[in-house]
């Protein structure tokens, strides 16, 4: 037993040896720790979500957008590939976001906002924006529920969707804006009167009727706006760049309901077709996924407290309001609609979905696959132009 007045005597023999052994043990411990840390971060072949780099000038450019990619090789090589793809993904996505922004201008380029903020002026634009505006204008001329000059109109629609007590205040809100809304709906049917494109330049023209409607409704949003095709055009540009640079084994997804499988995707899997059953969102069937597929989904119900959706009961039945109305802004009885093509064309798929909701039927103007769950509760019918596309159906398929 050791007393308080006793000293602890340490042996001085082999001090150098003990110091040397301690150093060796310490070094081994550091090496072991380092290996442990590295193994925790070790990358193995598989799918990884590519993170977008932050941006001070466009902090929201990647919101709701994701790229999932299959990387091969050893851990070091995978990390190198991930860093390389992150740069390409981020720069392309941010450029597309800025180019198609309808309300904010940027110093480094002329975008849609530049056109909106300088009416009656010819604005020089780059080839990509020129192509997109020409395509959007051509689709607007079809008068099938889409208009590239409907920015103020969608400001009205979104104004009620995200307002407090939207259901209770909808009628009063829409009545208060009845006249400007009517003027804007009429103007949306004549896109060529507002947007002119020639020789790499674009010009916005605003007549006094539309100017008054915007003033009366206190709308500052730009007239030219890609609206329902906004995400589709961004994804189209992103996919084209990825494919051109040889990155083709993955898929892009938007929270707005758009998914595109790159050409080299071979992992298989399925996408759930979701509708309503017994008053709750439920899986109706599955779609096998393959490289080159573009899928557009518009849904009329929110999930997990998601804002922007509400239901109104009327004599003709249950009607739904959601963020994807056609330019008429009407409520819909369609719970969810899907448009699919195998040409890796997100714009075509999304436009087809707009047409589905505008016509309220499954006619395919593009000859692509159309899926449209209809009905409520247990009376659910899945309509499609290609029944072989549907697997594991839990409802009637026509």
- Of 294, 302, 299, 270, which is closest to residue 352 (Cα–Cα)? 294
Instruction: Tell me how far the alpha carbon of residue 237 is from its chain's centroid.
Output: 13
- CATH numbers and ranges of domains, the chain: 17-99 (no CATH), 112-225 (no CATH), 229-397 (3.10.520)
> Averaged over 61-89, what is the pLDDT?
97
Distance set, CA 251 to CA 2, 13, 237, 260, 262 (Å):
72, 67, 14, 6, 5
The Cα 249–Cα 265 span in angstroms is 5
Residues 6 or more apart whose Cβ sits within 8 Å of residue 12: none
- Residue in the structure block whose two tokens are 């329902």: 228
Distance set, CA 364 to CA 197, 265, 344, 356, 380 (Å):
29, 26, 17, 8, 21
pLDDT band for position 361 (cuts 50, 70, 90): low
Distance set, CA 383 to CA 343, 345, 396 (Å):
21, 22, 9
The pLDDT value given to residue 33: 47
- Specify which of 161-165, 363-367, 384-388 reaches the highest per-range mean pLDDT: 161-165
Residues 6 or more apart whose Cβ sits within 8 Å of residue 239: 252, 260, 262, 344, 346
Reported pTM: 0.83
List pLDDT tens digits, range 176-226.
888 999 999 999 999 999 999 999 999 999 999 999 999 999 999 999 999
The pLDDT value given to residue 309: 76
Residue 15 scores a pLDDT above 60: no
pLDDT over 90 percentage in the chain: 51
- Of 229, 235, 10, which is closest to residue 135 (Cα–Cα)? 229
- For residues 349 and 309, the answer to whether their CB atoms sit within 8 Å is no
216 vs 326: which has the higher pLDDT: 216
Residue 354 scores a pLDDT above 60: yes
The length of the chain in residues reads 398
Residue 352 scores a pLDDT above 50: yes
Residue 271, token pair as written in the block? 């996408």
Backbone angles phi and psi of 303, in degrees to 5: -130, 135
> Averaged over 74-82, what is the pLDDT?
96
Residue 19 scores a pLDDT above 80: no
Q: Which long-range contacts (CB under 8 A, 24 or more apart) does 159-162 make?
A: 160/321, 161/307, 161/308, 161/309, 161/310, 161/321, 161/322, 161/323, 162/307, 162/308
The Cα 57–Cα 59 span in angstroms is 6
Question: What does the buried/exposed string (b/e) look like for 189-204 if buried means 16 or more CB atoms within 10 Å of the residue's CB?
Answer: eebeebbebeeeebbb
List pLDDT tens digits, range 304-325.
767 777 777 777 677 777 777 7
List pLDDT tens digits, range 223-253.
999 999 999 999 999 999 999 999 999 999 9
The Cα 123–Cα 125 span in angstroms is 6
């Amino acid at each position: 037993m050791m007393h308080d007045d006793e000293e602890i005597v340490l042996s001085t023999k082999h001090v150098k040896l003990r110091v040397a052994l301690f150093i060796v043990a310490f070094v081994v411990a550091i090496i072991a720790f380092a290996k442990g840390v590295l193994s925790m971060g070790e990358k193995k072949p598989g799918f990884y979500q590519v993170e977008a780099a932050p941006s001070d000038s466009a902090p929201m450019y990647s919101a709701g957008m994701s790229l999932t990619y299959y990387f091969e090789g050893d851990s070091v090589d995978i990390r190198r590939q991930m860093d390389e793809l992150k740069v390409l993904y981020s720069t392309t996505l941010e450029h597309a976001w800025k180019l198609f922004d309808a309300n904010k201008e940027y110093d480094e380029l002329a975008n849609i906002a530049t056109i909106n903020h300088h009416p009656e002026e010819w604005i020089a634009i780059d080839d990509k924006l020129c192509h997109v505006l020409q395509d959007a204008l051509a689709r607007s001329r079809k008068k099938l529920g889409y208009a590239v000059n409907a920015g103020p109109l969608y400001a009205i629609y979104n104004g009620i969707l995200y307002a407090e007590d939207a259901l209770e205040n909808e009628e009063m809100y829409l009545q208060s804006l009845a006249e400007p809304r009517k003027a804007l709906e009429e103007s949306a049917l004549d896109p060529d009167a507002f947007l002119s494109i020639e020789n790499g330049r674009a010009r916005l023209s605003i007549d006094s009727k539309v100017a008054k409607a915007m003033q009366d409704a206190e709308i500052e949003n730009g007239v030219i706006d890609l609206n329902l095709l906004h995400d589709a055009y961004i994804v189209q540009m992103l996919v084209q760049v990825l494919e051109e640079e040889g990155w083709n084994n993955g898929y892009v997804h938007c929270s707005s309901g758009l998914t595109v499988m790159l050409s080299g995707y071979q992992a298989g899997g399925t996408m759930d077709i979701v509708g309503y059953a017994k008053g709750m969102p439920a899986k109706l069937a599955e779609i096998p996924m393959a490289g080159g597929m573009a899928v557009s989904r518009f849904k009329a119900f929110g999930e997990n407290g998601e804002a922007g959706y509400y239901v109104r009961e009327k004599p003709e039945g249950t009607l739904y309001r959601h963020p994807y109305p056609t330019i008429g802004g009407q409520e819909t009885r369609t719970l969810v609609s899907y448009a699919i093509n195998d040409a890796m064309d997100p714009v075509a798929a999304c436009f087809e979905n707009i047409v589905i909701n505008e016509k309220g039927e499954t006619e395919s103007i593009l000859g692509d696959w159309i899926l449209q769950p209809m009905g409520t509760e247990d009376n659910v019918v899945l309509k499609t132009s290609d029944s072989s596309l549907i697997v594991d159906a839990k409802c009637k398929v026509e």
